[in-house]
């Protein structure tokens, strides 16, 4: 018969074998790598699949993903070359190609890359003016990628790309820009209104000039017509004053009628030569 002590020993041995096998066999999932240390020192890096290590001597110290990692770079205030304050943030896409360098080369590679991107972004934008910084994202992106790629390569990390998410003036700067834009629009409106008034004044002056020219031409035509009429009348009467006197009297009578028919006619008309008129009347009586 098997004693109880023997069964206990067999059970302990079986558990020890199972634990040993469990510690010696490592399955690494696709998209990951495991960094193995032997007695506290880096030994090797395990790739995806089934791997064997020495139990109790080798340990998996770090589990690192080999997928692309997205790092969100927090927003920060940046001062441009012309002393304007803008808010900028970015996003970086990295890939760990050497896990042992990433875990042993820097304490926290994510934090290190974030600080590196922020510092480089401040330096790049600080060399640009506000308008240039707002309109040249591709240029900032290219400079930023070139500035940090070599630094993170020492940590076994590749920078796939870096994108500028937002780059906007600060709230105070936006208010100043809006006021400047409003002032510029007001200036353009004033200039446009002044140009319109100037053009209207020119057109009005040209109209008056043309009207004056036409009036002068009309007066010349009337004067020529009057001259022609006088010449014809003079030629017709040939020294006889009676027709002339008749015409003048007819005009005189028409003028008196017009004045008498006016609403405010308060004028008493007398002959222009009263003594001659009286003599004419008296002479008529004497006859």
Section 228-244 average pLDDT: 63
Section 62-74 average pLDDT: 92
Residue, of 198 and 281, whose pLDDT is higher: 198
pLDDT in the model for residue 255? 67
- In degrees rounded to 5, what are phi and psi of residue 59? -135, 150
DSSP state of 166: E
With both helix axes pointing from N to C terminus, report the angle between 109-125 and 137-153 in degrees, rounded to the nearest 10: 140
Residue 70 predicted with pLDDT over 70: yes
Q: In the chain, which ranges are continuous DSSP H helix?
A: 4-24, 99-105, 109-125, 130-135, 137-153, 171-237, 241-260, 274-286
Give the side-chain half-sphere CA count within 13 A for 28. Answer: 22
Structure tokens, 234? 């003079």
Structure tokens, 108? 């926290």
Query: 33 Cβ partners below 8 Å, 6+ apart?
Result: 45, 46, 47, 48, 63, 64, 66, 99
Which phi-psi region, left, alpha or beta, contains residue 156 (left: φ > 0; alpha: ψ -120 to 50)? left
As a whole number of Å, the CA-based R_g of the chain is 56
Cα separation, 253 vs 249, in Å, equals 6
pLDDT in the model for residue 249? 62
Which residue's entry shows tokens 């060399």? 127
Q: Residue 58's beta-bridge partner residues?
A: 38
Q: Which fold has domain 69-169?
A: Tetrahydropterin Synthase; Chain A (3.30.479)
35 closest CA partner among 98, 117, 123:
98
Residue, of 8 and 286, whose pLDDT is higher: 8
Section 163-172 average pLDDT: 82
In this prediction the pTM is 0.57
Residue 106 predicted with pLDDT over 80: yes
Highest mean pLDDT (candidates 37-41, 167-171, 203-207, 209-213): 37-41
pLDDT in the model for residue 1? 47
Section 96-101 average pLDDT: 93
With beta carbons less than 8 A apart as the criterion, state whether 117 and 157 touch: no
The confidence band for 281, taking pLDDT boundaries of 50, 70 and 90, is: very low
pLDDT in the model for residue 195? 85
pLDDT in the model for residue 285? 46
Section 172-196 average pLDDT: 77
pLDDT tens-digit series, residues 123-159: 999 999 888 888 888 899 999 999 899 889 999 999 9
Query: 66 Cβ partners below 8 Å, 6+ apart?
Result: 31, 32, 33, 95, 96, 97, 99
The confidence band for 33, taking pLDDT boundaries of 50, 70 and 90, is: very high
Q: What is the torsional sign of CA 151, 155, 156, 161? A: negative
> Domain-by-domain residue ranges, the chain?
11-64, 69-169, 239-286
Percent of the chain with pLDDT over 70: 75
* Arithmetic mean of pLDDT over the chain: 80
First vs last C-alpha separation in the chain? 198
């Amino acid at each position: 018969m098997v004693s109880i002590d023997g069964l206990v020993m067999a059970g302990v041995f079986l558990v020890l074998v199972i634990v040993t096998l469990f510690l010696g066999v490592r399955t690494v999932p696709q998209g990951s790598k495991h960094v193995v240390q032997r007695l506290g020192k880096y030994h090797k890096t395990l790739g995806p699949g089934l791997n064997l290590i020495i139990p109790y001597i080798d340990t998996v110290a770090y589990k690192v993903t080999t997928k692309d990692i997205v790092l969100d770079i927090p927003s920060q205030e940046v001062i441009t070359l012309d002393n304007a304050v803008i808010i900028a943030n970015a996003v970086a896409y990295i890939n760990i190609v050497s896990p042992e360098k990433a875990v042993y080369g820097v304490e926290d590679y994510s934090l290190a890359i974030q600080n590196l991107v922020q510092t480089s972004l401040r330096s790049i934008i600080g060399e640009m003016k506000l308008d240039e910084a707002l309109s040249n994202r591709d240029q900032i992106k290219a400079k930023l990628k070139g500035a940090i790629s070599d630094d993170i390569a020492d940590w076994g990390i590749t920078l796939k790309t870096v994108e500028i998410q937002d780059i906007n003036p600060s709230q105070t700067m936006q208010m100043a820009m809006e006021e400047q834009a409003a002032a510029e629009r007001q200036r353009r409106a004033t200039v446009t209104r002044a140009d319109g008034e100037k053009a209207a004044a020119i057109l009005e002056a040209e109209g008056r000039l043309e009207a004056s020219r036409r009036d002068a031409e009309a007066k010349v035509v009337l004067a020529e017509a009057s001259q022609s009429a006088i010449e014809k009348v003079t030629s017709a009467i040939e020294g006889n004053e009676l027709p002339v006197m008749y015409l003048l009297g007819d005009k005189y009578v028409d003028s008196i009628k017009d004045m008498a028919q006016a609403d405010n006619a308060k004028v008493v008309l007398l002959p222009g030569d009263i003594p001659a008129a009286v003599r004419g009347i008296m002479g008529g009586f004497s006859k």
